[in-house]
Structure 1
Amino acid sequence: MSCPICGLETKQAHRPFCSKRCADLDLAKWLNGSYSIPSDNPEDVENALKEVEEAEAKSAGTLPTQH
């Protein structure tokens, strides 16, 4: 089995990766959203925008206005 990050042979201690470095690189990709699949569903887009607006309002200390 080869490492999904660099292609080298995997090591049992870090399986399915060849090293801790490749395992950490994979984790970083998960955490920063590199593995996400974009959605074209309008409802998903609306929900995402609403979440961003709420987060911005919360950090600014104000409540979002209702439309």
Structure 2
Amino acid sequence: RARPGATVSMPLTWKQVKTDLDPKRYTIRTVPGLLAKSMAWKDYSEGHRALEPAIRRLARSMKQAA
């Protein structure tokens, strides 16, 4: 997507999701400034979960299916 005006993905709060939301506003040039003002990542680290239990369950499930 290396072209002028290409958009990028970024987190938004529900407060930022409005009917006038313009995806073209989120480009590689505008995102750093937007992220500096955004609270979308505020609680991100509180949602972390360990992967090991899920990996063990998946391994057991695969063994049973074999």
TM-score (norm 2): 0.28
Give the number of the structure with larger relative contact order, counting CA–CA contacts within 8 Å between residues 6 or more apart.
2
